Amino acid sequence: MYKIVKKVSLNPTVTLMEVDAPFVAKKAEPGQFIILRVDENGERIPLTIADYNREKGTITIIFQIVGGSTIHLNSLNEGEYIHDFVGPLGVPTHTEGLKKVAVVGGGVGCAIAYPIAKKLHELGCEVHSIVGFRNKDLVILEDEFKAVSDKLIVMTDDGSHGNKGVVTQPLKELIENGENYDEVITIGPLIMMKFVVATTKPFNIKTVVSMNPIMIDGTGMCGGCRLTVGGKTKFACVDGPDFDGFEVDFDEAISRGRSYAEFEAHARDKACNLYKKEVK
């Protein structure tokens, strides 16, 4: 059992939890993830490690409330316990030796981008962060990104905060204005990452993407998280989640992700109805 020591609502649909998990915190690195079960009957949920504190022995997770299991997870409060919390899993993001990097995050994907930007900053890398959201009410971790970025650009679709537009606009402008990046690291919705790759490819700037397909066991045995990368089948849980964006078949990944939409909607509605009954 893993105790929730902190819970914060970052916006109406995104929650931060700090969880007491010393053995996970001891080994965790940016880019890795955990798999949890809220209770003994719960489904396995993969969540990227948003931060870690080795001295306190805690792991920070940030999740979007989108389905039945995340609704259940969000119903837990400080002092309560998560049944299973396994990790760290996956291959850490490569950060060594990089001198100048653009980190591009979208929506809740910024929770994954932040620890990478933080680690790069700690290593002395020049970090330019571009983060995008639909509107000002959904902005998360802005102050945290400011603290670890030499340049921070915030974009919103409707212009209600920061600059109006999508993340590829300032990225292209920075590159065209002479910013020479060793890498661009992008994390967010699949369609956003696809267009970030389309932006950097003409300039031949190495672009790393963090893939988050449906995942079950986290060991590569189930095959649920398979992707096509460079014409070969890869598994996000053991080969990733980071991949060369130029080689990822985004259209296939997007199509496979949509195949679960109806099931997820049903699970969400069922959980919402159950929660309403419990709180009456």
| 76-to-71, 73, 252 alpha-carbon distances in Å | 9, 6, 35
Q: Which of 197-201, 222-226, 237-241 has the lowest mean pLDDT?
A: 222-226
| 14-to-23, 70, 92 alpha-carbon distances in Å | 26, 10, 24
**pLDDT at residue 116, rounded to an integer:** 95
Confidence of residue 240 (pLDDT cuts 50, 70, 90): confident
**Tokens matching residue 84:** 């299973």
Sequence-distant (6+) residues with CB within 8 A of 268 are: 66, 67, 68, 71
Round to whole Å and give the CA distance between 38 and 67. Answer: 13
CA 126, 130, 136, 137 torsion-angle sign: negative
pTM of the predicted structure, to 2 decimals: 0.85
Round to whole Å and give the CA distance between 115 and 117. Answer: 5
- pLDDT tens for 150-202 read 999 999 999 999 999 999 999 999 999 999 999 999 999 999 999 999 999 99
Round to whole Å and give the CA distance between 187 and 93. Answer: 12
Structural domains in the chain, sorted by start: 2-89 (2.40.30.10), 100-210 (3.40.50.80)
Taking 70 as the threshold, does the pLDDT of residue 53 lie above it?
A: yes
Round to whole Å and give the CA distance between 132 and 164. Answer: 9
